[in-house]
Amino acid sequence: MTYVTARVEKRLYTTLVIKTLLPQEPLTTLTEHIIYTHHSFTRQELDRLGKLFDNVCSRHGENHQELFEAQKTFYQLKQDLIPHMLKEEQVLFPYITRMEEDAGEGRAIPPPFFGTAPNPVRMMMTEHDTAGDLLQQLRGITNGYITPPDGCVSFQTLYQALAAFEADLHQHIHLENNILFPRAVEMEETSAPDFHKSADEFNEHRCFGH
């Protein structure tokens, strides 16, 4: 099996899993999949890509100034993604897990310090939009990750790795934005409607501009 064939088969399998299997799984399983598949890959690749950028910029930066712009954009993306993943792993995902356990066993769900699930969800989705914008910038700067004719093997490896990183991050964000987050919000609205009632009453009585 060639490298390209292996990547195509992996992409097809991943798409099948996302479209047919994961949407039916418990929320806890979804969060674990995201952490151990996507977060793990993201951290690993952020470290590897940083080293590849250093190597390629030192070899080709003089003739390809766009590499430095791409490296700067990459480091901005890295600085955004690391705390983003920590917030999910330390705050939002544990709440989703506890909520699902309590709801499944008919227990009252303790109110979270952030009010209701839509609050951190909105923040995470805003940060996803920022990551998507940075990925789009990277793709533009690198001409769609097309290695120039004078690019060495490391240059090719960098651009291939960036393309793979982009594809995985899009899948990662899709799982959260379109599957995990809507289901978590719906579960909270069903299992703890008082949270949302209290939030609505609070918003109605807020004094804006003071």
pLDDT, residue 209, reads 39
* Element at 116 (helix H, strand E): none
pLDDT, residue 12, reads 38
pLDDT, residue 197, reads 63
pLDDT, residue 195, reads 72
Instruction: Write down the number of H helices and E strands in the chain.
Output: 9, 0
CA distance readout (Å), 28 to 83, 117, 174: 21, 15, 17
First-to-last C-alpha distance (Å) of the chain: 66
pLDDT, residue 10, reads 45
Closest to 35 (Cα-Cα) out of 167, 180, 158, 138: 180
Chain centroid to CA 63: 33
Q: What is the mean pLDDT of each run of 10 residues along the chain (210 residues)?
A: 40 49 84 95 97 96 95 98 98 97 91 93 97 97 96 95 96 95 94 69 38
Backbone angles phi, psi at 151, to 5 degrees: -75, 135
pTM higher than the cut 0.95: no
pLDDT, residue 19, reads 55
